[in-house]
Structure 1
Amino acid sequence: MEFGEQIKEIRKEHQLTQEQFANKLNVTRQAVSNWENNRNLPDLEMLIMIANFFHLSLDELTLGGTQVNDMTKKLIKDGSETRRAKLNLISTLIGTFLLLLGFSFIFIKANSVEYIDASGILHENFYLLPIGFVFLFAGIIVFLVTGIRYLVAILKK
């Protein structure tokens, strides 16, 4: 059963008009009409509110039986987009951290003092340059991979 049919059935079982149903959920009558005509779907918070108000499980409300309906597809899509957004945020933060770390090492190397001690040994922080460049390279790679994955996701839509 489609989600719109299910909402209409729930509303009629409780002998409510669209206006009364909307008032109980603090939405407009037009929103209820759009749900019933499958023009629009409620968000997850509204689904939880509907399920609680009418004493239904979310499975009953979203699945509407054994078939996958539009609401189930929307929830799956929203969940995967949320995970993708979190992954992009984490990747961006990691890339930023790596770039800042790389710039820090290079800055420290540029401002460090090289000296020769009394026994004639040169003291220099030469290792900071390759480490800085490795972190810069890693940060750039993280940004490139994140950007490419984002573009691929957009093109799949």
Structure 2
Amino acid sequence: MIFAEKLKTERKKKGWSQEDLAEKLFVSRQSVSKWENGQNYPSIEIIIKVSDLFGVTVDELLRSDEELTKKVIKDSKQLAHPKLKFIFDVLFLIGFALLAIKLGVLLLNKVTALDIMLYGGALLWNFGSLILMVGAGIGSGMLKDKYKQD
């Protein structure tokens, strides 16, 4: 039995309307209707709530529908990547900030009588931003490709 049929059967056993179930799950009646018609699938959080409401195991709900199982697996993989993506984004922003600081100092030195020194060495200021930005871009791209493969 696929998830849509199982959900409808269990709801009717309880004598609940789609509206009743929707209220218990804190979703719209249209969402329940789409799930029962096989047009859409709920999130894993909703599947757990459905499991609790109807007294069936999550395994029964997931294994009843191969498409739902694939969706849950895909969603869980997507949740694993944001921390790594965040790190690459921060590295890119640090590189951008270094570049902006260097360009700002160069511009100020050019248009004013100021002679501001950049401490930390030529390597940091000439190549640091480039290395961080390119490295973060490559890492982010590799992460994106890995997610597509999974």
What's the TM-score once normalised by structure 1's chain length?
0.66
2:92 and 2:137 in contact (8 A); partners too: no
Aligned residue pairs, count = 140
State which of 83, 86, 104 in structure 1 corresponds to 2:80: 83
1:3 and 1:69 in contact (8 A); partners too: no
Aligned to 1:140: 133
Percent identical among aligned pairs is 27
Aligned to 1:72: 69
* 1:3-152 alignment runs, 5 A limit: 3-64=3-64, 69-101=66-98, 111-112=116-117, 128-146=121-139, 148-149=141-142
- Aligned residues: CA RMSD: 3.4
Shift in Å, 1:4? 0.7
State how far apart, in whole Å, the 2-side matches of 1:75 and 1:135 are.
40
Aligned to 2:108: none
Structure 1 unaligned regions, length at least 5: 114-124
Shift in Å, 1:101? 4.6
Shift in Å, 1:35? 0.7
Aligned to 2:112: none
2:18 and 2:33 in contact (8 A); partners too: yes
Bigger proportion of residues as helix? 2
What's the TM-score once normalised by structure 2's chain length?
0.68
Q: 1:17 to 1:102 in 2, by over 3 A?
A: closer
Shift in Å, 1:139? 1.5
